[in-house]
């Protein structure tokens, strides 16, 4: 057990160090702050839910992808919330003492719900439309990076959020017979 605690302590220290290097603080250029503020919205509720539901009306492959995206989104969100409340890792503003550049949605940092949401939707559409996969996955990765840049998550929070989305997507896509 001592070895596991030591490993977790080292991972936490590394995560905090990466956060200090990657986070954009209030002294950053306005354009930099605005870029990350816009990107982070892609992982929010409005963009992920509406991005999934709007294509339902199109029918065909787009509607199938939308249904899969919504299932992956809901299931991964439930897992993220369960883990957040079980682990209870404080956000960087409380753990490192930095100011955030946006409002924190709650007090828990681990894992990132925005990163999970963006990756959930990206994964469903990337499988349905492989020619868009690179752009979709890159956008989801940028959403995750935005959460660190804006000071509301550690890099490990983002990585685990994205992993939860992918691990949710695999069985959903297999179960639904995705292309």
90 phi and psi, to 5 degrees? -70, 150
Gap between the Cα atoms of 116 and 112, Å rounded: 6
Residues paired with 90 in a beta bridge:
108
Query: Is 77 part of the annotated catalytic residue set?
Result: no
The question of whether 103 is a catalytic residue gets the answer: no
Structural contact between residues 88 and 11, judged by C-beta atoms closer than 8 angstroms: no
Q: Which of 77, 103, 114, 131 is catalytic?
A: 114
Distance CA 86, CA 152 (A): 18
* Identified catalytic residue from 77, 103, 131, 153: 153
- H/E stretch holding 18 reads helix 2-22
Catalytic positions: 114, 153
């Amino acid at each position: 057990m001592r070895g596991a605690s030591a490993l977790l302590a080292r991972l936490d220290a590394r995560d905090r160090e990466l956060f200090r290097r990657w986070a954009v603080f209030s002294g950053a250029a306005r354009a930099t702050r605005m870029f990350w503020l816009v990107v982070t919205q892609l992982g929010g509720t409005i963009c992920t839910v509406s991005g999934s539901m709007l294509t339902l009306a199109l029918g065909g492959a787009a509607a199938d992808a939308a249904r899969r995206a919504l299932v992956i989104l809901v299931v991964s969100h439930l897992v993220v919330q369960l883990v957040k409340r079980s682990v209870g890792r404080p956000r960087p503003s409380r753990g490192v003492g930095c100011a955030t550049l946006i409002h924190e949605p709650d007090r828990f940092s681990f894992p990132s719900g925005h990163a999970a949401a963006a990756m959930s939707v990206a994964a469903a559409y990337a499988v349905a439309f492989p020619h868009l996969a690179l752009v979709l996955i890159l956008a989801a990765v940028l959403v995750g990076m935005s959460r660190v840049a804006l000071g509301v998550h550690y890099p490990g929070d983002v990585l685990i959020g994205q992993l939860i989305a992918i691990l949710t997507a695999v069985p959903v896509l297999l179960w639904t017979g995705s292309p």
